[in-house]
Amino acid sequence: MGSVTEKGPQSLGAAVSMILGDTARGVMRFVQVDPDTCVMEGTIDGLSPGAHGLFIHELGDVSRGCASCGEVFDSRGQSGGKKAGDLGLVTATEEGRAKYRLNTSRIKIWNVIGRSVVIHTAEERVACGIIARSSGLFENDKRICACDGVTLWDERDVPIAGPGRSRLKTHVNTNATCCDSGTAKCDV
């Protein structure tokens, strides 16, 4: 893993993507833990049950939804074969939730920041989000949270979309003071 400081281990880069579609919502996190390993972890809610393709696309343009994300990213510039941006399949449960974790040497975080993550069915692109640079592990003690008080890192245990989200009134992070006045700002 990267260097270690008083605050903990340092990554070689980190990124996050908020994935949005007509019904699907999710978060993907990326951390380059060493020069050869990128760890990707995510949770996506609101998908139809079953398998969905998970891809990094070459463009970070969501101005026309997932249609403007370009082709699947391939850092190797090869034609044919599996592209670097083909991350495999995620399987959504009957409730529409898919969890994903992958350690890969096929992509480097510095090559995917500014591109997009796209979730595919066999027929169409159903959700997408831009991959944005983020603070690495232990590099920023600020908390990002939704209006219900669930922080970005706690959301993996609670649905982002669908009927299960309403349970969040009882799942409030006691370390965060979020949206006390009804604004979409976390002041921790």
Digit-coded pLDDT (tens) for 133-145: 987 655 656 555 5
Judgement on whether residues 92 and 171 belong to the same structural domain of the protein: no
What is the pLDDT, as a whole number, of residue 19? 96
What is the pLDDT, as a whole number, of residue 82? 82
Work out the mean pLDDT of the chain and round it to a whole number: 79
What is the pLDDT, as a whole number, of residue 20? 95
**pLDDT tens, 170-187?**
444 444 444 444 444 444
Instruction: Look up residue 153 and give its two tokens.
Output: 């890192």
Judgement on whether residues 168 and 75 belong to the same structural domain of the protein: no
CATH of the domain at 65: 2.60.40.200
Q: Phi/psi of residue 111, each to 5°?
A: -90, -15
Judgement on whether residues 186 and 112 belong to the same structural domain of the protein: no
Q: Is the pLDDT of residue 62 over 90?
A: yes
Judgement on whether residues 128 and 156 belong to the same structural domain of the protein: no
Model confidence at 2, pLDDT cuts 50, 70, 90, reads: very low
Judgement on whether residues 85 and 126 belong to the same structural domain of the protein: yes
Q: Is the pLDDT of residue 86 over 90?
A: yes
**Residue 131 vs residues 89, 151, 176: alpha-carbon distances, Å:** 19, 19, 25
- Read off the pLDDT of each residue in 110-114 and give the average, rounded to a whole number: 94
What is the pLDDT, as a whole number, of residue 153? 59
Q: Is the pTM of this model over 0.75?
A: no
**pLDDT tens, 145-170?**
555 556 655 666 767 666 665 444 44
Domain extent for 87:
4-134
Count of domains forming the chain: 2
**pLDDT tens, 89-99?**
999 999 999 99
Model confidence at 127, pLDDT cuts 50, 70, 90, reads: very high
* Spatial separation of the C-alpha atoms in residues 159 and 30, rounded to whole Å: 20
**pLDDT tens, 6-27?**
444 456 889 999 999 999 999 9
